[in-house]
Amino acid sequence: MSPVLETEEHKALRKAVAALGTRYGHDYLTKVIAAGAYPDELWSEAAKLGYLGVNLPEEYGGGGSGIAELSIVLEELGAAGCPLLMMVVSPAICGTVIARFGTADQKQDWLPALADGTRTMAFGITEPDAGSNSHRITTTARRDGTDWILTGRKVFISGVDIADATLIVGRAEDARTGKLKPCLFIVPRDAPGFERRQIAMELHGAEKQFELTLDDVRLPADALVGDEDAGLLQLFAGLNPERVMTAAFAIGMGRYALSRAITYARERTVWRDPIGAHQAIAHPLAQAHIELELARLMMQKAAFLYDSGDDAGAGEAANMAKYAAAEACVKAVDQSVHTLGGNGLTGEFGLASLITASRVARIAPVSREMILNYVSHQTLGLPKSY
């Protein structure tokens, strides 16, 4: 498949997911958030229709497709005003890592449940003193007989309260070199010593953020995902889909905001003509649309490269897609709110909350500055300053 032109199957998927999203919409998500709940109904229906596991292997109940298809699902739900953030984490990161590197038992245990939505998994990498610099991760894993003992802290981990387990990134000692190497572990939610504290956020979303404490958490040998010597490869196998899906999340949000502004600009009349007839209103909205479309093209390229097995090419494209989508989303939301004026800050139109939410893609899972570092070093060959 061309990374630019979508197949008929992709178009049909977009249409079907858009119909699902429209039946729920932003009002549904707003009510869920206000109640402090989680969008279980939407999650379950999306799973029943096969959307949550579209990227997972068919032999484990998935759709047998890829990140390209999963990103379409998230984008269209976002464009309808009801994105599911845990799609970025559970099927995209954790499902991908287990499908590519998990043992036969881990695949059988987790993939069917992730695909049908009956179980979810969170992902824990960020630490208080190791945000952008994953080499400073201090969560350690040491052997105790056949078991593993995990000790450390994580922060800004989404959905831990609803996840059945968290895929934790730790570091274990290499027996040959004595150096610490990254390893991934499946930590059950009720594991002794695995504690969570909810972080108070100004960002209002269905998915809560948590700080995690791992106090000598004892895990069996089979909690280690795959081969302990493949930890770094496993990690990046999950981070590239995360960036693609974050781009999809941002593009969907930008499209939702823009659609509300366009409808308003067509109908709102202050003088003789609707305000959308004036170039001061029309041109910024047109620019926002163009930038969202350009970001989508890079996202499609990144997904295409990843699904084709080009991890190196996907790394560059996924970072660029995430950067472009975040910038386009922020601009689309800002311009949409501005188009509505005072109405853009009311609950009726559902845009004001996006002012904060749109910034998330600029910050997480990696800041735009670190993406610029990546491109300047990896793509342009410029020297590092750190």
> pLDDT averaged over consecutive 10-residue blocks of the chain (386 residues)?
76 98 97 96 98 98 98 98 97 96 96 97 91 76 95 96 96 78 94 98 92 98 87 82 98 98 96 95 98 98 96 94 98 98 94 95 93 95 90
Report d(CA 239, CA 234) in Å as an integer: 9
Q: Pairing relation of β-strands 165-173 and 180-188?
A: antiparallel
Look at residue 144 and give its three-state secondary structure.
Answer: strand
Report d(CA 379, CA 311) in Å as an integer: 15
Cα torsion through 246, 244, 234, 183, rounded to 10: -10
Fill in the DSSP letter of residue 91.
I
Which H or E element spans position 317?
helix 311-340
Rg (alpha carbons) of the chain, rounded to whole number: 21
pLDDT of residue 101: 94
Chain-centre distance for alpha carbon 89: 6
Q: Which residues contact 309 (CB under 8 A, 6 or more apart)?
A: none
pLDDT of residue 88: 97
CB of 28 within 8 A of CB of 39? Answer: yes
pLDDT of residue 121: 98
Report d(CA 18, CA 11) in Å as an integer: 11
Q: Tell me the C-alpha to C-alpha distance, in Å, between residue 183 and each of 104, 128, 142, 168, 234.
A: 18, 19, 11, 8, 8
Report d(CA 290, CA 267) in Å as an integer: 22
CA-nearest of 222, 299, 209, 219 to 255 is 299
N residues, the chain: 386
> Which of the following is catalytic: 242, 291, 316, 327?
242
Look at residue 154 and give its three-state secondary structure.
Answer: strand
Say what the pTM is.
Answer: 0.95
CA-nearest of 117, 122, 384 to 242 is 122
CA-nearest of 295, 179, 283 to 229 is 179
Is 59 labeled as catalytic in the residue annotation? no
Paired strand residues for 127: 130
**Helix 67-79 and helix 8-34: axis angle, to 10°?**
50
CA atoms within 13 A on the CB side of 347: 5
Q: Pairing relation of β-strands 121-124 and 165-173?
A: parallel
pLDDT of residue 162: 96
Token pair listed for 260: 């509300």
> What is the residue type of 8?
E
Look at residue 212 and give its three-state secondary structure.
Answer: strand
Phi then psi for residue 40, to 5 deg, are -60, -40
Q: Which residues contact 326 (CB under 8 A, 6 or more apart)?
A: 246, 247, 250, 358, 361, 362, 368
Q: What angle do CA 263, 266, 268 make, to 5 degrees?
A: 95
Paired strand residues for 198: 210
Report d(CA 68, CA 28) in Å as an integer: 26
pLDDT of residue 230: 72
CB of 335 within 8 A of CB of 127? Answer: no
